[in-house]
Amino acid sequence: MTRSPATPLPPPGERRRLREAGALTRAQLAERVGVRPETVRAWESGRSTPRGRRREAYAELLAGLAEPAGGTADAGTHTSGSGRRSTDREGRRGLHGRQKAEATAMVTVCPDRAGGGGRGRGRAAPEPSAFMQAPPPSSARSSGGPEASWDLTPAQAFDALYSFCAPALVRQTYLLTGRRDLARESVERAFQLAWDRWPEVARDPDPAGWVRAAAYEWALSPWHRYRRRYRRPEPPPPEDDDRALLDVLLRLPPPYRRTLLLYDGVGLGLPETAAETEASTRATAGRLLHARETVAARLPELSDPRELHQRLAELAATGRLRSADPPAVRGGSERRARFWTRAAIAFTVALIGTTALTLRTAPTRYEPPVPPGETVRGVPPRVAPGPLSEDQRELRTRLREELPQGPQRLTPQAR
């Protein structure tokens, strides 16, 4: 009796790419196969492999997702000639390796969660707003092949991540702080930190989330209140409704404000929001309810989460915020790294010089201290050198004035 061969499956990285190309979340794919979203995550990361009927259903679903992408690519190649083929080649260059696939295939600030995968089944995805970015070209998402996944350099992959995430991230940070300059500075600082740790960020399952967390932490730092440039408040938005909403947001404590923005603004699920804010799911739910109640008490028309999401997007769009160019951000990160490297080298050289000078001037043998004088047979000890008293000064003056004038002798006088 022989066993039938297992149904072939694409590599783990290709599985995730096919799911994203088909605009499916992990929860939706898991519902079709009949497993949990955590199981789909394990399949896509390569930690486990499906077996039996689930393997066949998973392979059939992936094959169905791969057919439209392949057919579209072939039709485009045959109908458009060399011009379309060059476009396809440019699209293939837009792919990235396993370590950088998430960075270059970024559709929104939170691509997997914007569709409501973490909030429950059947929830519709939020409309495109100021928090989201336009999706990359279809050729860059549909054309595949592991041989084309290593074409991007680290700088190109970083620029792609920055181009997709920075504009929306600046608007989000503006809602956290109410300051345009601080929002731009926080995003640039977060991306500079990401460029310094680019191998770690490129391997992260969610590079956009990594950068977003770094930007939020920098923006909400309490040390900004001591900086001179941030002591004065910035001009509020021109509209009364926008000013009222921004005022309510800024009155919330920073953890509550961040939770409300991540859940109702960005569209993260409750577990993802709890993980990013470093709190438990129950505490995150309590913060979210309290923040919603505070906003609804001041602005009753925003009691509906959908309306709140729309108003947050409109408020973020009124800031007219612009982000710097990717080369400027990378250059700032490199200049900062060179400065601290040179400072560390200068400090090390100064420390070595100080140590060498100390070793040069330090005594090489033990020198015992001079013991105090003692009285021997009634003879008082010799007075050690030191400051003279008034009587001793007078006596020294008399001796210096009288002795050089002649051979006079001092005659003791009886008193």
| Structural contact between residues 29 and 61, judged by C-beta atoms closer than 8 angstroms | yes
Location of structure tokens 């105090």:
372
Q: Which residues contact 331 (CB under 8 A, 6 or more apart)?
A: none
Beta partners for residue 222, in sequence order: none
Task: Tell whether the model's pLDDT for residue 142 goes beyond 60.
Answer: no
Location of structure tokens 């392979």:
59
Q: For the beta carbon of residue 140, count every other beta carbon within 10 angstroms.
A: 20
Domain boundaries, the chain: 1-80, 94-120+127-321
- Residue 344 has φ and ψ, to the nearest 5°, of -65, -40
Q: 1-80 in CATH: which number?
A: 1.10.260.40
DSSP string, 30-74: HHHHTS-HHHHHHHHHTS----HHHHHHHHHHHHHHHHHHHHHHH
Task: Tell whether the model's pLDDT for residue 382 goes beyond 50.
Answer: yes
pLDDT bin (cut points 50, 70, 90) of residue 237 is: confident
Task: Tell whether the model's pLDDT for residue 92 goes beyond 60.
Answer: no
pLDDT bin (cut points 50, 70, 90) of residue 351 is: very high
Location of structure tokens 């050690």:
384
Q: What is the pLDDT of residue 256?
A: 93
| Structural contact between residues 239 and 87, judged by C-beta atoms closer than 8 angstroms | no
Judge residue 153's burial from the number of C-beta atoms within 10 Å of its C-beta, 0-12 exposed, 13-18 middle, 19 or more buried: exposed
Distance CA 319, CA 181 (A): 11
